[in-house]
Amino acid sequence: MGTLGRARLAAAAGRARTLGMDGERRASQALSSGLPEGGAGGESPGDGGPVPGSSCSSALLQAEVLDLDEDEDDLEVFSKDASLMDMNSFSPMMPTSPLSMINQVKFEDEPDLKDLFITVDEPESHVTTVETFITYRIITKTSRGEFDSSEFEVRRRYQDFLWLKGKLEDAHPTLIIPPLPEKFIVKGMVERFNDDFIETRRKALQKFLNRIADHPTLTFNEDFKVFLTAQTWELSSHKKQGPGLLSRMGQTVRAVAWSMRGVKSRPEEFMEMNNFIEMFSQKINLIDKISQRIYKEEREYFDEMKEYGPVHILWSATEEDLVDTLKSVASCVDKCCKATEKRMSGLSEALLPVVHEYVLYSEILMGVMKRRDQIQAELDSKVEALTSKKADTDLLTEEIGKLEDKVECANNALKADWERWKQNMQNDIKSAFTDMAEENIHYYEQKDHCGCLWVSVEQSWM
């Protein structure tokens, strides 16, 4: 930290201490006069404020941040309401104790601290008598005290990633777990163990792990730590420590029963959330299909165009009077091919993966809403049983109390994570389309240059 940073920290600490002493003085005066510490209104600035990011913190449902035109031919994406929650600003809902105020100070000359770095690389093919599969090397570097070392290197296969995702969903049913790439690819795309497919999956798996690492809650999950640090045999042993097959089957049957039963009265904010998810799923799937179609047409155009250059070179060998002209045509075609190939690369690396990731996110969101409804349906069932007195009322009352707490925590966790996800979604999609627009501008600038070459070729031809 520089001199300016230390000066700001000292100033912030002094200001916080001053506020803390003022608060103690007001509390003393309030107690002596018989009023609550918050004054006549009975509200203390630092009392009862939920901590942002906790599983039970409350967060208000914001207005839509992604609005897509109803017309299927319109690919315009824009922000309808960019007023997203600023987690670094002071809010009446946040505690204003001296310590919390110091923690909220954001220094301009210091970046956000990141203490967990994950890299997925070196895919390796394994062939056995039973199956063929790919493993990936995962390197983790960290400065966290709960890790035994500062660097770990393990190898994981796709099934291990599936196990981790399942454990995270079990531990945090209403948090938005990042999506994994599909296990099987769509018919007509690349083959299963094609190099391009393996590289695409590697990038997606790395993004999956880094999204978990950046999540304020998921990053401290114990199974995530085991996934990053345990050797293969240790991970296999850890997997066997979970509930048995019969227990998992029982949980699945109960979950299906609650989902079939449905929810009597879903809160209005979750109705709005569900409507947003349905609309978002429609629009992002449409964008994904159109983007894939555009890429396919660009590929066909490129494959056809790149054949013209060699043809004109061969032609020039048989036409002495047109040698220079034909070679100029070949050069122009070559420049157009390079510009088109670069544009396709930007489309396949910048836009398509982002759009498809949010297609998968829309499925994740539907699953989260379904699990939230299952928790509420279980509570509704117990309340109904208590009303009809079909079981021991004392036992039901105790179970209802626990379920009410569970529903409240699930709702608050989802609302807080929902805001975080929407902000990330807006930033990712905006960045992807902006990068694509800049790539297109550069592409057409090069095309204009190629057009000038074509004009010069035509003139020389005449």
Instruction: For residue range 176-200, list pLDDT tens digits in order.
Output: 999 999 876 544 444 556 888 889 8
271 pLDDT above the threshold of 60: yes
Which of 105, 98, 76 lies closest to 22 in space, CA to CA?
98
Run of H or E including 144? none
Residue count of the chain, please give it: 462
Q: Hey, is 216 helix, strand or coil? A: coil
Distances (CA, A) of 93 to 52, 189, 374, 395, 418: 9, 50, 29, 36, 18
The H-assigned helical ranges of 79-194 are: 98-104, 158-171
Instruction: For residue range 95-142, list pLDDT tens digits in order.
Output: 443 333 333 333 334 345 788 999 999 999 888 888 888 999 999 999
Tokens standing for 209? 């792990």
What's the CA gap between 197 and 119, in Å, rounded? 18
- For residue 154, which phi and psi values (nearest 5 degrees)? -135, 170
What's the CA gap between 270 and 61, in Å, rounded? 9
Instruction: For residue range 139-168, list pLDDT tens digits in order.
Output: 999 999 889 999 999 999 999 999 999 999
Tokens standing for 390? 């079909």
The H-assigned helical ranges of 110-244 are: 158-171, 195-214, 222-229, 232-239
Q: Which residues pair with 141 in a beta bridge?
A: 117, 151
* Residue 343 pLDDT class (50, 70, 90 cuts): confident
Give residues with Cβ within 8 angstroms of 119, minimum separation 6.
138, 139, 206
Is-contact 360 178, C-beta < 8 A? no
368 pLDDT above the threshold of 90: yes
Give, as one character, the DSSP assignment of residue 88.
T
The packing angle between helices 393-461 and 352-388, to 10°, is 160
What's the CA gap between 230 and 248, in Å, rounded? 24
Distances (CA, A) of 291 to 73, 175, 285: 11, 29, 10
pTM above 0.75, yes or no: no
Q: Hey, is 77 helix, strand or coil? A: strand
